[in-house]
Chain A
Amino acid sequence: MENTVQFMALIQAYTGIGIGLIIGLGAAGACIGIGIMCSSFLDGAARQPELIPTLQGKVFLLLGLIDASFIIGVGLAMMFAFANPLLAVIK
Chain B
Amino acid sequence: MESVTNTTISRAFSKAARWQIIITVLISGVSLLLAGVHAAISALAGGASVVIGAYAGMLIAQSPKGSAASTVLITLLKAEAVKVLVIAILLLITFKYYQGLVPLALIGGLAGSALASGAGMRAVNNVNDK
Interface residue ranges, A against B (CB under 8 Å): 34, 38, 41-42, 45-46, 49, 52-54, 56-65, 67-68, 70-72, 74-76, 78-79, 81-83, 85
Q: Which residues from B are CB-within-8-Å of A58?
A: 121, 124
Majority secondary structure of chain B interface residues (helix, strand, loop or mixed): helix
Whether the Cβ atoms of B92 and A78 lie closer than 8 Å is: yes
Given contacts A56-B5, A68-B114, contact A63 B76 (CB under 8 A): yes
Q: A34-B77, A61-B121, A79-B103 are in contact. List 14 more A-B contacts (CB 8 A).
A: A46-B69, A52-B69, A53-B5, A56-B9, A59-B73, A59-B76, A60-B12, A61-B124, A64-B54, A67-B80, A68-B114, A72-B110, A75-B111, A79-B106
A-B contact pairs, 28 of them (CB 8 A): A34-B80, A41-B69, A42-B73, A46-B69, A52-B1, A54-B124, A56-B8, A56-B61, A56-B64, A56-B76, A57-B5, A57-B12, A59-B73, A59-B76, A60-B12, A60-B58, A62-B121, A63-B77, A64-B16, A64-B120, A68-B118, A71-B87, A72-B107, A75-B46, A75-B91, A79-B95, A79-B103, A82-B95
